[in-house]
Every structure is written in structure tokens, then in C-alpha cells.
């Protein structure tokens, strides 16, 4: 039964993404006033600081009312963007936004909105029982949108990633490491 549901879901998503139902489904580019591939100069007025992570530089975003830092200062409770590290002009390759949500109502609202806009989302399937999730993926351009409600932290996190930029950045970093040897 589960296999049949999965097959139907895959066919439905494939039809939606290919436009079989008459919808032109393109991936989102922006999240909370910040867009993928924007330069750091274009969003500088929204940034309050910078940090480093395994995959390069991150810029921490100022609270804007709807998207606001919640709880302890943990990376999952902060609003931030990940920047490319190899391009001369740093551009946004990933966006992470959070919304306070104690009972999962924001998640349910966003989930419904995204399903209407992008089709059926895929449950990540590996999260603890006090969390809910959905993910949408596109091949061209390589993008994913992930929505997670975390019942322990009482937040909804929304991630938008440009896989094309991430892949190019990883390739560039590997080449730079080889050149350094």
C-alpha cells in the first residue's frame, strides 16, 4: 500500500513539475526578502554579522518581524544566508529563515500554501516524532525548498538552496585545495 501511495505521489509530482496539469512550476528564488544569487552588497542592509561554517561564510540576517531569531542562539534558530566562497563577488547560495511556531499552525499554513503552489511535498522521513517536514525539488535550475516544524524548539525553519551554486562552489573549493598542495 505504501509503495502504491509513493508511486502515485511521484507520478503526481512529476506531472506537476513537467506542467502536465497546465501549471508552470518554477522554483522559488526568494525567501523573506532575500533571493538566491543576490550579491552580498545587495543584501548588506539586511545583515548584522558574519560567521564561518564548514561550507564557507554565512551572513546573519536582521530580524524583520515575521522572520525573527527565536530561543537560544543556535544555528537552527537564527536567520542566515550561506555565501559562495570561490566567486570574486560573494552571492547567496542558501537561505535559512525561522518563524516562531509553538503549535505547528504556521507550518500547516505554509505547507498548504506551498502545496498549492508547488505540488505535493516529500516528507523527509528521518526526523523525530515531534517534528514535521516537507521538501520540494527542482532539476532546472537545481533548487530545493525544505519546510520543517521543530516541536522542541517551537520554530518553523524554511530552507531554500541553489544546488547549482553549491555544486560549483564545492568544485571550485576542491580545485583551490589541489592548487594549494
Tens of pLDDT along 69-124? 766 677 888 899 999 887 667 899 999 999 988 888 999 999 999 999 999 889 88
User: Has residue 54 been placed in a domain?
Assistant: yes
Domain count for the chain, please give it: 1
50-55 contacts at long range (C-beta below 8 A, 24 or more positions apart): 51/80, 53/82, 55/82, 55/85, 55/166, 55/169
Count of beta carbons in the 10 Å neighbourhood of residue 27:
20
44, part of any domain: yes
Please report whether residue 37 resides in a domain: yes
Q: Is residue 14 part of a domain?
A: no
Query: Over 50: is that where the pLDDT of 12 sits?
Result: no
Answer yes or no: is pLDDT of 4 > 80. no
Q: What is the pTM of this model?
A: 0.79
Domain span at residue 96 reads 27-180
Answer yes or no: is pLDDT of 18 > 80: no
Residue 15 maps to a domain: no
Quick one: which H or E segment has residue 52?
A: strand 47-53
Amino acid at each position: 500500500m505504501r509503495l502504491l501511495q509513493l508511486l502515485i505521489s511521484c507520478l503526481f509530482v512529476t506531472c506537476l513539475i513537467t506542467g502536465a496539469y497546465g501549471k508552470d512550476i518554477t522554483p522559488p528564488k526568494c525567501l523573506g526578502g532575500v533571493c538566491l544569487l543576490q550579491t552580498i552588497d545587495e543584501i548588506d542592509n539586511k545583515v548584522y554579522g558574519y560567521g564561518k561554517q564548514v561550507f564557507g561564510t554565512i551572513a546573519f540576517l536582521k530580524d524583520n518581524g515575521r522572520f525573527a531569531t527565536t530561543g537560544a542562539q543556535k544555528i537552527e534558530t537564527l536567520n542566515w544566508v550561506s555565501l559562495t566562497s570561490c566567486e570574486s563577488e560573494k552571492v547567496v547560495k542558501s537561505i535559512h529563515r525561522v518563524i516562531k511556531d509553538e503549535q505547528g499552525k504556521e507550518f500547516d499554513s505554509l505547507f498548504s500554501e506551498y502545496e498549492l503552489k508547488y505540488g505535493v511535498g516529500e516528507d523527509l522521513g528521518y526526523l523525530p516524532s515531534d517534528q514535521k517536514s516537507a521538501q520540494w525539488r527542482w532539476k532546472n535550475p537545481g533548487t530545493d525548498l525544505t519546510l520543517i516544524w521543530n516541536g522542541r524548539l517551537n520554530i518553523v525553519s524554511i530552507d531554500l538552496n541553489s544546488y547549482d551554486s553549491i555544486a560549483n562552489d564545492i568544485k571550485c573549493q576542491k580545485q583551490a585545495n589541489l592548487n594549494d598542495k
